[in-house]
Amino acid sequence: MNTIEKALMHGLFVHLHHNIDKVIDFKSFQELNQQVDKIWPGALAIGPEKNDDAAVFQVPGMDGYVVAKMESHCSPCVPRPYDAAATGAGGAMRDVVAMGGRPVFLLDFIGTRPLDQEVIVGPCGFAGVCTCGTCKVMTSQERVNIMVKGLRDMCEVMDVFIVGGGFSTSFSDIVPAVVVSVFGKLVTEKPLTKPAKNPGDKIIIIGVTGTDGNDTLYRAGLVKEMRPAVALFKEERIALEAALAAFGTGKIKACSDLGAAGIGAAICESARYGGLGARVDLTKVPVSVSDITPQEILICETQARFVVQVAPEDADEVVNAVKSKTENVTVIGEITSDDKEVFEYNGQIIATIPNKPSREIIEALKG
């Protein structure tokens, strides 16, 4: 394994962000939902056992489907509370969009230390003592105000209601809690499920990739400082409208937002869940900086991005639809019949990710 393969496979197969089913009994949820389905037949279209971007359900007696997602951005609130709260909201909204929905309502929960206690905001926040000279010392109340503003500003630009939430000052940990739930309306004919559908389908990226958001590298122990993704407001709205334009063609087979572990995770999970593979040319990805490395293109978590999959004959139509909203769209690869995902840059293979790593590799990643 090279360094980037180690980081990406750690995120995909070890870190709990991508492996919630290892600690939560989804089977018991499925059994419960099957029981409740006898009361409300067909109300739940996509539940937690599907491990998709968001849930899809129908309120009995109402037309149409609701898309819902809960997301937390707790640890990033230590160095960047404003951006972390905003990207938590934006990420949950993108998950709703990735299922074919448009976000409409948001609920939030914030948990923090007692309001008069001092907290350190900045890269040294996890240590509890600033040694870099750039951190800010403020009260827990002041940090709460910053987080609330991040949530509010993202909802404003996305035309999303804040309809309620919860608040607690009983937290004693350095890390505060920022949790959001977003609800939207399904606007596609049926949910756009994550698994890849057919070999040969083209992979299209919407949005621009930068060097921010190294959480996956940090969690894998490969970098010393967490640099959370920067909140992008205007870009989030553009990406939303571009995705909706793509959906309007009726040709989208699968869609994912680019959250944790970025392009790498989105494509690997989609291909693996579909029992397929993928090949991606990272040189074709639109980027925001000239000195970005191929490894950063693959794994960084820049906001306001989606990938969609379409049949080869529909690729031009979808790209042209997206271009009515943004020029930041291009075909970057295709789904294959292989059992692995291959990422290359300028003709050189940067990473190869197997759908089923060996037990030896998993144990090495845990270590």
CATH number at residue 245: 3.90.650.10
pLDDT exceeds 80 at position 219? no
Q: Are residues 180 and 281 in the same domain?
A: no
Q: Are residues 169 and 66 in the same domain?
A: yes
Q: Are residues 233 and 319 in the same domain?
A: yes
Assess if residue 35 is contained within a domain. Answer: no
Q: What is the pTM of this model?
A: 0.94
Percent of all residues in the chain with a pLDDT value above 70, rounded to a whole number = 99
Structural domain ending residue among the three candidates 188, 221, 238: 188
pLDDT exceeds 80 at position 218? no
Assess if residue 30 is contained within a domain. Answer: no
Q: Are residues 341 and 204 in the same domain?
A: yes
CA distance 36 to 33: 5
pLDDT exceeds 80 at position 222? no
Q: Which tens digits make up the pLDDT trace of 3-35?
A: 899 999 999 999 888 888 889 999 999 999 999
pLDDT recorded at residue 194:
94
Give the confidence band of 340 by pLDDT, cuts at 50, 70, 90: very high
Q: Are residues 147 and 209 in the same domain?
A: no
Q: Are residues 313 and 334 in the same domain?
A: yes
* Mean pLDDT of the 262-276 span: 97
pLDDT recorded at residue 16:
83
Contacting residues for 11 by C-beta, under 8 A, at least 6 apart: 17, 18, 216, 219, 220, 260, 261, 264, 265, 299
pLDDT recorded at residue 225:
72
Structural domain ending residue among the three candidates 188, 218, 249: 188
Q: Which tens digits make up the pLDDT trace of 191-204?
A: 999 999 999 999 99
Give the confidence band of 96 by pLDDT, cuts at 50, 70, 90: very high
Q: Which tens digits make up the pLDDT trace of 109-126?
A: 999 999 999 999 998 999
Assess if residue 116 is contained within a domain. Answer: yes
Q: Are residues 204 and 182 in the same domain?
A: no
Q: Are residues 183 and 229 in the same domain?
A: no
pLDDT recorded at residue 187:
97
Contacting residues for 139 by C-beta, under 8 A, at least 6 apart: 115, 116, 117, 118, 119
Q: Are residues 255 and 349 in the same domain?
A: yes
CA distance 136 to 142: 11
pLDDT recorded at residue 302:
94
Q: Is 181 helix (H, G, I), strand (E, B) or coil?
A: strand
Assess if residue 353 is contained within a domain. Answer: yes
What is the tally of structural domains in the chain? Answer: 2
Domain that holds residue 321: 12-17+193-367
Structural domain ending residue among the three candidates 156, 188, 220: 188
Assess if residue 280 is contained within a domain. Answer: yes
pLDDT exceeds 90 at position 84? yes
Q: Are residues 356 and 319 in the same domain?
A: yes
Q: Are residues 164 and 268 in the same domain?
A: no
Domain CATH number, residue 171? 3.30.1330.10
Q: Which tens digits make up the pLDDT trace of 156-179?
A: 999 999 999 999 999 999 999 999
Sheet of 340-345, strands arranged across:
254-257, 306-310, 202-206, 329-336, 277-281, 340-345, 348-354
Q: Are residues 210 and 163 in the same domain?
A: no
Which is more confident, 339 or 21? 339
Give the confidence band of 214 by pLDDT, cuts at 50, 70, 90: confident
Percent of all residues in the chain with a pLDDT value above 90, rounded to a whole number = 86
Contacting residues for 56 by C-beta, under 8 A, at least 6 apart: 44, 45, 46, 65, 66, 67, 68, 99, 101, 186, 191
pLDDT recorded at residue 249:
98
